Structure 1
Amino acid sequence: MAPSTPFVAGLVLFLLGFCLVDSRSVYDHRHHSVVGDGRWLLQAASAVAIDCGAKCSVRCSNSWKRKMCNKMCGVCCSKCNCVPPGTSAETRAMCPCYATMTNPRGKLKCP
């Protein structure tokens, strides 16, 4: 007896879905990240890494504690892959991750 048409169609859809999920997971591990609710988001910023050392030395050029500024900027840059342009706090909004990172005491971490 031959299998019914709905059964075959369901089996084909199941196998196609399995293949798509499998290939998507391989692709996503390289170019996407998982958000808490399970959605996948493209992280365009992580595709091209910036030179944190150069960006942070510009950012900290007016700091009175350059060594500490460069260290903290480097930590923030490596996590966010972004450093706001210029030396003032007014440009923080250009890098939301960088601008909102806080230390354990709740104060802003990134210079």
Structure 2
Amino acid sequence: MTKFVFVLLLISLMVFVSQLAYGGGEGSLKPGECSKACEYRCSKTRIPTTCLHFCNMCCDKCLCVPSGTYGHKEECPCYNNWKSRQRKPKCP
């Protein structure tokens, strides 16, 4: 019984962490969850402060952060389609 409870707790923790780290689709995050999702998204970038700034701005608007640390922007069309004045992607 103890192993079963431990496994359930471990699975619950993994699901919780993955929801924070991975947006899970457009509008799937609450505003308070953006910072954790962006910390993960920007964890491997060379310029983390800039990445975090734009990621949080994009997440606040779209309530989504693509999974992983790079790519997968198709998961969040709002995040993917927001462009700068130079027509470059605004969101990391």
**TM-score when scaled to structure 1?**
0.56
Number of the residue aligned with 2:87: 106
Q: Secondary structure at the match of 2:27?
A: helix
Number of the residue aligned with 1:60: 42
Higher RCO, 1 vs 2 (CA within 8 Å, ≥6 residues apart): 2
The CA distance in 2 between the partners of 1:45 and 1:75, in whole Å, is 14
Number of the residue aligned with 1:86: 68
Match of 2:52 among 70, 79, 82: 70
The CA distance in 1 between the partners of 2:35 and 2:61, in whole Å, is 13
Offset at residue 45 of structure 1 (A): 2.7
Q: Which moved more, 1:48-57 or 1:97-106?
A: 48-57
Q: Give aligned-pair identity as a percent.
A: 38
Greater strand content:
1
The CA distance in 2 between the partners of 1:64 and 1:72, in whole Å, is 14
Runs of 4 or more consecutive aligned structure 1 residues displaced over 3 Å after TM superposition: none
Structure number with bigger Rg: 1
Which string of whole-angstrom CA distances, capped at 9 and with x for unpartnered residues, describes residues 23-63 of structure 1? Answer: xxxxxxxxxxxxxxxxxxxxx937x6151100000000010
Unmatched 5+ stretches in structure 2: 1-25
Unmatched 5+ stretches in structure 1: 1-43
**Aligned residue pairs, count:** 66
Number of the residue aligned with 1:22: none
